[in-house]
Structure 1
């Protein structure tokens, strides 16, 4: 089959690449093994008509104006600032930790100026910051670490904080003010018509052919001569020749509560120390929709299943680098995305990486 590019994976990485290349006059054949586009960001209405995210909550946020402007071609936006509470004992407390968290937890009345001084008295200085445990103890000390982070991490990753690279915990700030937003980015919005509708518009181009429910290995021989853009797990592409890269998976328990207008006060509540699940998300907070009932999802991290998160540990990074060396020598194929680059990317980082990848391919072709 004659086409300029075969793209494997119809999530953000593959779809953004497809659109940039198509806009530049290239023909693109985009496939995905799932029966839908959008990857993990795919959304749909449940049986009761509530818009939900089958693969867990996806909240868009970015400081990259270029990324926001690109996606704005394909959606209007609903302003939304995500807020998360953590259940600690009988209390629901803001996370990331802020002044309110500390004052309510310990019965204090610290001012903003006093919060940092308090944290200085409880923190355990660590240098260098090699692990996530180092990061958390260096920032907030052992008690806050145990109440908010250690148990959650064990559930989320199946590992202790001391076994994870520093970058995981470094994603979560600690604040001395009352800012209770989960993200601090300049652009915080949700696609007004949902992610799936945004993907439909993104892929609505005469030069893009989309096929879902397609296994890459079965159709690959049909596209000899087409440049391949691969967004799946890099170890799978190379038949796990160096052994499997560790990924963390998730199981989702979706539930509709027919006579409950609102289940919880914010979009997501974390459970760092109780229950087998890590968090509950209520979708109506995210979408702004109204309904007589409400739909929620509980997330249960697990070792087996579809890969969601690369596991950030030094030994895993070393194994990935062996696969990355193979990727550099492979001809006619480009790797991009969270699974292909073994990176714990946010959505906006994936879009930025895809924009750069597509432009690099166009520049190389023009050279």
Structure 2
């Protein structure tokens, strides 16, 4: 096994974690990526004004998995960071996810925790079964909050109504009766101290790993035979769209630098569910803790065309993916792993977990 080379397609989380695990086990690994950089969508860099920005929108690391946090700690130091988000409704900014403060501020109330729980119980529209994202939200917070915070945001983000999306999309967003205004409540919440790209550089820094950028899998596939391929790209592309395209949602990013402003907004991300064509604005200095005279922000415009970012969670898409998955099972010398290859709306920590599991599986087979 040790004189064979494994080709890894994609230098994001799935590919880089696989590369490191295989390299540490003595395998030779060649990593390719069609982009001119490593780190996939987590790629960050200094913009032309010297502010560290996330090129492909904000990436906030959070996990309950101690094993995953410890694994990544081999490649980076951390900066503790708890992400906070506000949602703007009728020109006023509210804590989001919805908590007790959101209710009190929005409706001019003075609820305690029990009062907030009773409020949700009173306004919720019980749904049975809970099958769609609309069901999830109406079941939890009722129609008014659904229409103010969720309905139009979802339409912008996905180009679909919440009633057309599987329940899991909305289930990612909690509703709270306390005043916790953190976006995530995971045990481990931190940002790589020197940025994501530096963490990936450390992960790929191994004598058994070679990296080739700005190269397309189709070209390499034609010219080389590899003993094994780890494929982290879109699974439908691997099979030349035999059954048609799997739907993905993309984003257009509008980066802006404000030289005269130390701060643009109070928190890392502000959602605009009902106004503007963009869904949210993120200000990077909140995330990174960087000191700089100016500040850099990004607006996100969801769209259908462009790089695939989000698998679209609908029953018919899942059925189409299952057909591709059956083809994948017949590819004995290929491992499919990651958000695009597994058509899963993974968080970063979940991709790391999936890659560690796939690497373990591969190495046990090769042993």
TM range (shorter): over 0.9
Distance (whole Å) between structure 1 residues aligned to residue 315 and residue 16 of structure 2:
31
8 Å CA contact retained: 2:133, 2:165: yes
Aligned to 1:254: 255
Aligned residue runs from structure 1 range 168-247, under 5 A? 168-247=169-248
Report the CA distance between 1:90 and its aligned residue: 2.2
Look up the match of 1:306.
Answer: 307
Residues 92-122 of structure 1: per-residue CA shift (max 9 Å, x gap): 0011100000100000000011101010110
Match of residue 161 from structure 2: 160
TM-score w.r.t. the length of structure 1 is: 0.99
RMSD: 0.7
Counterpart residue number, 1:13 = 14
- After TM superposition, the structure 1 = structure 2 runs for residues 6-45 of structure 1, keeping only pairs within 5 Å, are 6-45=7-46
Q: Could you tell me how far apart the structure 2 residues matched to 1:147 and 1:137 are?
A: 12
For 2:109, the equivalent position in structure 1 comes to 108
Unaligned runs of 5+ in 2: none
Aligned to 2:320: 319
Q: How does 1:106-145 map to 2 (within 5 A)?
A: 106-145=107-146
1:334 aligns with 2:335: yes
For residue 3 of structure 1, report the CA deviation from its aligned partner: 4.0
Partners of 2:5 and 2:360 lie apart in 1 by: 15
Q: 1:160 to 1:206 in 2, by over 3 A?
A: same
Where in structure 1 are there 5+ consecutive unaligned residues?
none
Tell me, in whole angstroms, the C-alpha distance in 1 between the residues paired with 2:37 and 2:18: 17
Corresponding residue of 1:349: 350
What SS does structure 2 have at the residue aligned with 1:211?
strand
Could you tell me how far apart the structure 2 residues matched to 1:311 and 1:14 are?
22
Shift of 1:226: 2.0
Contact 1:43/1:52, CA 8 A, preserved across alignment = yes
Q: Secondary structure, in 3 states, of the residue corresponding to 1:7?
A: strand
Do the aligned residues in 2 keep the contact of 1:249 with 1:308 (CA within 8 Å)?
yes
Q: Deviations 1:7-53 (Å, cap 9, x if unpaired)?
A: 00000000000000000000000000000000000000000000000
Structure-1 separation of matches of 2:309 and 2:4: 30
How far apart, in 1, do the equivalents of 2:4 and 2:81 lie?
A: 40
Match of 1:147 in 2: 148
Distance 1:260 1:3 in 2: 54
Structure 1 residue ranges (4+ consecutive) displaced by more than 6 angstroms after TM superposition: none
Q: Secondary structure at the match of 2:26?
A: coil
CA displacement at 1:186 relative to structure 2: 0.2
Tell me the residue number matched to 1:55: 56
Contact 1:3 1:223 in 2 (8 A): no
Q: Answer yes or no: is the 8 Å Cα contact 1:44–1:53 preserved in 2.
A: yes
CA contact (8 A) 1:3 1:29 kept: no
Question: Contact 2:7/2:226 (CA < 8 Å) preserved in 1?
Answer: no
Residue aligning to 2:67: 66
- CA drift of 1:219 comes to 1.1
Name 1:292's counterpart in structure 2: 293
1:91 shift after superposition: 1.2
Q: Deviations over 1:153-174 (max 9, x none)?
A: 0000000000000000000000
**Secondary structure in 1 aligned to 2:256?**
strand
Residues 193-213 of structure 1: per-residue CA shift (max 9 Å, x gap): 000000000000000000100
Preserved contact between residue 262 and residue 295 of structure 2 (Cα < 8 Å):
yes
The match for 2:79 is 78
TM-score by length of 2: 0.99
Secondary structure, aligned partner of 1:44: strand
Structure 2: distance between partners of 1:288 and 1:222: 45
Map of 2:98 onto structure 1: 97
User: How far did 1:222 drift?
Assistant: 4.0
Deviation for aligned residue 1:224: 1.3
Give the equivalent residue in structure 1 for 2:88.
87
Secondary structure, counterpart of 2:142 in structure 1 = helix
Work out the number of aligned pairs and report it: 365
